[in-house]
Amino acid sequence: MISKKKNYRILCAYQDIFFVKEEYYNLFNVSNNIYEIYINGLFALPRIPWLYERKNQYNIKNDILDYIISNTNNVNIKDRNLWIKNNQDNLVQIEQYLRNKYIN
């Protein structure tokens, strides 16, 4: 990984990934599990509809986003806030499922 060669480590991931210098990494409580970092980011700032749109636009494979979208009501997917409100209960269950599958 390029960041590791330059002495940086992943700090967190939302729609972007943030890195911190290796020398400061111990100041943060960061998981070593890349799935945990990714899932934390997905549900901390729910940009799932936007990320799914970009995934399709650039023909990127992402099983986690596909799972989320296939298990939600996507009538209002173009309105992120309404989509989140309509899927709030589903998202809690989906997040727990993903945590159990990829982290625990």
Same domain, 43 and 90: yes
Provide the pLDDT for residue 2: 62
Burial class (CB in 10 A: 0-12, 13-18, 19+), 63: exposed
**Residue bearing tokens 């970092």:** 37
- Domain that residue 80 falls in: 32-104
Is the domain of 91 the same as that of 46?
yes
> In terms of domains, do 64 and 98 share one?
yes
pTM, 2 dp: 0.83
In 1-104 the beta strands, taken as DSSP E runs, fall at: 8-13, 17-21
72 and 21 in a common domain: no
pLDDT of residue 15: 66
Q: Are residues 9 and 39 in the same domain?
A: no
Residues of the chain under the 70 pLDDT cut: 1-2, 15
Instruction: Report pLDDT for 33.
Output: 92
Residues 49 and 75 reside in one and the same domain? yes
- Burial grade of 92 (CB within 10 A; 0-12, 13-18, 19 or more): exposed
22 and 62 assigned to the same domain: no
Q: Count up the domains in the chain and report the number.
A: 2
Percent of the chain's residues with pLDDT above 70: 97
Residue 20 · residue 11 · CB < 8 Å:
yes
- 26 with 36, same domain? no
